[in-house]
Amino acid sequence: MFTGKPYEEYFSFPSGNGSRLAFDNDTGDILVWNSNGTLVDNVTKDVEPRPGLYYYRATLDFYGVFTLYYYPRNPSGGASWSVSKAWPPNICGAFVNSALSVGQNRYGIGPCGCNGICETIDARPNCSCLPGFSFLDDNNHYAGCKQDYAGDPGDCSPDGSTIREDRFEFQNISFVNFPLSDYGIFHPATGLECQQSCLRDCSCAVSIYPTTKNNGDATCFKKQLPLSNWYRDANLDSTVLVKVLKSDASKKQRAASKKKPATRNNQAIVILSVLLGTFVVLASISLIFFCLFRRRLHDLSGVRSPSRRDLETNLQFFTYKDLEHATNRFSEELGRGAFGTVYKGELPSIYGNRVAVKKLDKFAQDGEREFTTEVKVIGQTHHKNLVRLIGYCDEAEHRLLVYEFMQNGSLSSFLFGVPRPSWQQRLQIASMVAKGLAYLHEECSKQIIHCDIKPQNILLDESFTAKISDFGLAKLLMNDKTRTKTGIRGTKGYVAPEWFRNTPVTVKVDVYSFGVMLLEIICCRRCVEVEMEEAAILTDWAFQCYSEGMIGKVVENDEEARNDVETLEMLLKVAIWCVQEDPLLRPSMRIVAMMLEGVVQVPNPPCLFPPNSMSMSMSVSSFECC
């Protein structure tokens, strides 16, 4: 056991026993140890051959194998780096064991990607594809495999059965298995019954049954795409039946035999070609006249195309009449915020049809010139985690912004609805929002403090990509203004303490609000819930649970989160750092994003409300890369 010895954890191996790679700071040894503190291996102790005659180097490859190599100090010719030790010795089996022990999604798709077969050779994963599959990238066999026949909607009937079963056949492979995600299991079954069941099932791509039990007492496992963590082992007692499309060579041969040279047929083809060409020309002319007529009718009805486009930002200028017509006189309200009301609208397809139009009825009227300048700053911000601004209107007293339409609404509705989002979805959303804020604070041309980060201002598109809205509307900072003293902005529960003090406001107010929202994402509950009595304030309650070692309590009814204790603890520590009272203690959003990605190690946070918090400071070196 490691008791009292300083060591630094470096890497967590994909193995079921939670193995870690660590460095002993006293001896310089490289150690492999279990999560319970038991030493598994001292990689650098008693290495063979002896160190005096050889150079050594160690690598940690992207697929998760730590390898120690040696090379002779006095090579006699033809020498090369040779493997002394490798951990884990069977990387393919390690991924499978981990998936079995903690759930198949914990370590993703394995070293060989989706539909790839992994075989450990010299401690490295050697990747191959199932019959009927080929590599996605011929230059990178770790990227996975794709099915050569992508399928056709006509393959399946409405009840899920296969149409024209005679088009498919099975190819057998042995000593290969994937022990997870069986969507269909039946027992007892013979090999033929297992094959026929998969053939009739349109969703079935592969079926597996034991090789030795062919007396009808075996269990048949059916699997559908995508497949992950396939591995090859000579000791496996299983037969894999892969459903593939039959060769269509006979069809091509029959088609070729029907092709007879015929002069009359050739003449007919020429005549038909002339007639078809004439028809196409006439149809094109008719289409042009139709479009011109429709454009004229469109103008007469009062819906005009936008009159100008800003070349610098690619923003489109709209007239108020354009947007009034697009929103059907602002009839369908999507939501209300601190700066106005948002309405659903429809524009020509070049803008993606549906849009969100924000009426800035609460916007400070500082003149057309300043409004246009601020809008252009927003238009110059481009990031996949920011809601895209399409255009604007600054006609007379009207101030409107036109955004891309976000199909899945706000994070608030998604997070606090029933059922709750999955643990993995919540982790991805937290990471996306952190990256978007880091861009606003450090990467866009003019630094932007959002001032109102909360779930209502995080929107989700059709693929549930999280995007920040309302950025740039609270306060835009020029390059020579890094702080501002102003009135309190934001929403109760998310407002940083410095808003209530006579102290400068910086980007750290967004870090605080993000920390509160991160706790909401973890717990799927709002930051203030009066009816919960002692747990009414989420930040206080979460810190109490963390400090008392009861982190599972914050996700008490979330089995998926409770099974991922390491990630849960990491997220709680990040959130506690973000909501520190002293802004100097809070990390930047760039560091937060790196923490959530696992690139930066998260140190243990201090007390959330230390008595001398305002006098404390923290060096950036506390957030060092792993």
- Output the known binding site for ATP: 359
Let me know: does 403 contact 326? Beta carbons within 8 Å. Answer: no
Query: Which entry of 201, 394, 452, 564 is annotated as an active-site residue?
Result: 452
| 27, 45, 123, 463, 579 from 70: Cα distances, Å | 20, 14, 15, 48, 48
SS3 390: strand
Residue 582 neighbours by CB distance under 10 Å: 18
- 88: cis peptide before it, omega within 30°? yes
3-state DSSP assignment of residue 592: helix
CA distance 556 to 436: 30
C-alpha dist (Å) from residue 192 to 104, 239, 246, 296, 589 = 29, 12, 18, 68, 58
Cβ atoms of 71 and 55 closer than 8 Å = yes
310 in catalytic set: no
CA neighbor of 468 nearest in space, from 405, 388, 535:
388
Is there a contact between 321 and 441 (Cβ–Cβ < 8 Å)?
Answer: no
Q: d(Cα 242, Cα 166) in Å, to the nearest integer?
A: 15
Q: Which two tokens stand for residue 149?
A: 């026949």
Q: Give Cβ neighbours of residue 269 (< 8 Å, ≥ 6 apart).
A: none
Vertex 610 angle, CA 604 and 616, to 5°: 80
Catalytic positions, written as ranges: 452
